[in-house]
Amino acid sequence: MSERAESHFINTKDNRIHWYQTGITVDCDPEQNLCVKAYRLLQELFPELPPVEMHLEKQIPFGAGLGGGSSDGSHTLLLLRELFKLQVSDEDLESMAARLGADCAFFCRCGNRLNTASNHGTMQAQYCEGIGHELVPHTLSLKGKYFVIVKPPFGVSTREAYSGVHPKYPVESLDKILNRTIYKWKDCIHNDFEESVFPLYPQLGEIKQSLYDKGAIYSSMSGSGSALFGIFEDEQPDCTTWFDKEYIVRGHCALV
């Protein structure tokens, strides 16, 4: 488990941001944090952007393939736009988010849709193309299913994961496969990272098999790892007891 950070304040280089970080330790200069980078992007467009105090309570572990940093940066864009009533369209904000990282546009759009859903709207799955920043609404729905996410007590660096992966041209597009019943996904949807990362970290393959043994309909590594997820038919109230205490295990019903 990552060390918990002490509460601390840091003024950034131009004193426009009062940075306050707690939770899991993020060992980097605040200027390199995606939340601060998000402010800087908006500052390019709005030079008179007011100073802010940012408090990041880091809960999603890094090196997990869960997009924790990306979602932090994307939601910072959304929050700053709302706070200062900035005239930036959803499309332009997603383009800015893509400059932070390949998956940031996804979190930016989902953050918008989540706000809409909270006001009695609907959430919709997004199909990602390109490097992950080209988004198309998809009909996929996992409503009623239950996710269990397992983060082992170690991470997989992005560089390490990408250095060993060899993407293959699929025989059939993922778009078509996702329209099939989820009960067939196990045999036809594969994360290419698993082929190179599992031999380096055999525990990951064991976690995946454990999730299937517990009754998962489908299981996979999340992104480049090290977290894995299992999709279940029903809620798994005892999932936090499935692995040793140094593993982080969380369960939640599907939102989409």
Helices (H), 15-89: 34-45, 68-84
pLDDT at 1: 43
**For 65-124, what is each residue's pLDDT tens digit?**
999 999 999 999 999 999 999 999 999 999 999 999 989 999 999 887 766 655 555 678
Helices and strands per DSSP (H, E), number in the chain? 9, 9
Which of 100, 126, 99 lies closest to 111 in space, CA to CA?
126
> Would you state the structure tokens that stand for residue 3, as one six-digit string?
């060390």
Helix axes 34-45, 68-84, angle to 10 degrees: 40
> What is residue 92's three-state secondary structure?
helix
Q: What's the CA gap between 256 and 203, in Å, rounded?
A: 30
Sorted by where each starts, the structural domains of the chain and their CATH numbers stand as 4-137 (3.30.230.10), 146-253 (3.30.70.890)
pLDDT at 159: 87
**Sites in the chain below the pLDDT cut of 50:** 1
What is the number of alpha carbons within 13 Å of residue 240 lying toward its C-beta?
Answer: 5
pLDDT at 203: 97
pTM of the complete model? 0.87
Q: What's the CA gap between 88 and 208, in Å, rounded?
A: 42
pLDDT at 26: 81
